[in-house]
Structure 1
Amino acid sequence: MARTEEMKLGLFLSGAGYHDGAWRDPSVPANGGVDVNHYAQLATLAQSAAFHFVFLADHLSVAELDHASLTSVSRNDAFEPITLLSTLSSRTQHIGLVATATTTYHQPYHLARMLASLDHLSHGRAAWNIVTSGIKFEASNFGDHELPDHDVRYARAREFVKVVKGLWDSWDDDAFIRDKRNGIYADTTKLHLLNHRGKYFSVRGPLNIARPPQGYPVLVQAGASDAGIRFGAELGEVIFTAEPSLEHGRQYYATLKDKVRALGREDDQVVVMPGIIPVVGNTNQEASDKLKRLQSYTHLDVQIGTADRWLGSVIDLHSVDLDSFVPDSLPQTNFIQSRQKVLLDLAARRKLTWRELIRVVSDSRGHLMAIGTPDEIADVMGEMFDQRAADGFNVIPATTPGELMDFVELVVPVLRRRGKFRSGYSGQSLRENLGLKRPLNRFARAS
């Protein structure tokens, strides 16, 4: 299927919004992270605008232990993604449901079963954002002193996904015939034992649930390190990336698609969707004032804590001269290597001081920010799309529901007038709406 002239849109769901200061905004529910009705409102609003999916990030620990920053952040009070999306599956009808789950501290059988269940509950709208753990505090929650090495985490992830896909193929699509008259529930000639024996996992199978409606839930991947790009090119179907400029977005897009083709995959079966944080105003001044207000809500300790995490916890930011320029390089991190590189590249291009970079990280974590009128934001998105830096975007509202409502009511109509975004859903499953093929069962294909 050739690339269409309409971009794909996802919604990055968060309880308060993406900005560190969002929870203090008067329009934001203070308990949004654990209010299912708040999430349902956001998902329903995105569905009314024909977004392709909602996306839930996740990590398996409190993100920081410094009490000065821990005191003033809202991100450590939120639902586990698959649980929440299972509830949202009954409160939505069309929009896709993307759950983040790490391969570092899950087991393949557990996750294959949960994601298959979500796909059945939603009638084919589930997706898995495949990540490796990148927060240092996760390790000690699972009996480890340190996270495994970055490349080891990706090697385990590759085998993990292979096992999960094999488990999803445990039964042919028509294996459960449920014949009451003859007393035959399952055709066991269409049952397949996985019998996987690998470096990291030993899994017999089969999975105790029918094959997912989509064959496999859509596979989403968010890595942009060298290992992450290889992994995404090999296994990803939707790629969520942080690309804060057109030039770097085009380079990433071209690199990834070249690797996809080199692996014998069709490049239109891998959809690149960088994050974008739109701050919408009727005028530039209004949009700028919105961001300044959020910045005023954010304590410096919180900004430093966020910057420390995304830069890989390799430097004591409390001890640096905040008005000195950011160096060209930092020690390599064992955590989120790709984001450290994005942020250092950004600092070099803009000649940022530490104080300026810390604020940028608090505002955007390195994602593209578009601050301005609806037409200006649509211009940014249209140029990224037309210049092959994106096939669509994961929209990351700075606050919810306010900035999401502004985007839906003000920016989406502009995109539609320009022929850049659809007005409705084209199919039942997430795969159909993204233009992705349904995978065949590997065992049926082999036979």
Structure 2
Amino acid sequence: MKRLALLLLAACALPVQAKVDAVQAARLGADLTPLGAEKAGNASGSIPSWEGGITTPPAEYQPGMHHPDPFKADSPLFQVDAGNMGQYEQQLSEGHKALLKTYPGYNLRVFPTRRSASMPQRIYDATRYNAQNAQMISGGNGVEGAASGIPFPIPQEGLEVVWNHIMRYRGDQFRYVTNQAAVLASGAYNLLKLEREIYFVYGREGVSLRDLDNTLFFYKYRVVAPSKLAGNALVVQETLDQVLSIRKAWRFNRGERRVRRLPMLAYDSLQPDTSGMATADVVDMYNGAPDRYQWALLGKREMLMPYNSYALHQKGIPYTDILQEKHVNPALLRHELHRVWVVEATLRTGFSHPYAKRRFYIDEDSWQILAVDLYNKNGELNGLQEAHSINYYDVPMFMSTLETIYDLKGGRYFVDGLDNNEPMYDFSAELRPRDFTAQALRREGN
């Protein structure tokens, strides 16, 4: 009853968000990019204007390849480390400052800013429509009036920015194999290899409002290695409004040879095989219902953020070269100066979560969350998330190639997305909604 009362109070306190008028919507594609970013560069020229992002793959690219780096000729402009970080204090997140202070060998190599984000024209067209039609419902816990594209390209509040991340375009469907690892303070880790499939309902070509049925996407993974876990599998049916209808999830356990419905795979429930470092809602930097937090839009800042991480993405790099003790190998990372929306989430009274406050840094060009500062209930910074992202220009879309969570107190970290020695994402995989059910898990497990 207490939780219901809190949700009703939140719904009353948050009116239905008015859509922007035609004059504001007309800015999309004019002084704003089709997704709502400032098209112009900054005054100093250190951030260039957006010229459409990557619209054609590099000449050497062939389908199925790990994506060649279109900016491989770039040299670092400068390096930020513990010794000179004071010069760049206004452009660093608190999490990055802590990482630099805590680990003297860590540094940020800063490259020229390349505004590479691009998406299909139909996503731009849908976004223009959404500007005058999409609105939050259910006290901000859902969105209506949009079937594709960015729902709030000209955001008025923090929760709209977060919805833009949750509902951004990530292709129609794809099959991929990646590894994750919990790297302990000693540097020890074990790889968990997962074969994954995802089928988007929202945003797919030809989708209409009546097709959504409160569904964002379907997701499935199967453990490939190590052998003692191989065959375990999970299916998730992700809803748009998770307060109205909670996400559905089923797990197949190879040892039991049974499919079980998971009563809760959301919020602060811990992901298995992450040594307690990853809650359910940190997947994709943030996911799920936003009802446990109050969201404040702090504005837009020019920040040094992970971006165009093609060097980290390249085929054949040994995972031992990436996963160093305490942190990912900084020699493989690329940071750039970008304008980001800053949104702060504060845990509501009556709820619990390891992260009592989070500060999100969201890319203006793609609406991808690039970094998150994580604070505990005592107000202490205890973690940092990063999304090392690239333009998958064969789609095209902008998304992380590797995600990290640093436990700054424990001297350890978790990574997800290691794919350097696996087949590249298959964006043409033939998938169907019926592949993402409890019955499908049972069939595959037998």
More helix, by proportion: 1
Report the TM-score when normalising by structure 1: 0.27
Report the TM-score when normalising by structure 2: 0.27
Ranked by relative contact order (alpha carbons within 8 Å, sequence separation 6 or more), the top structure is 1
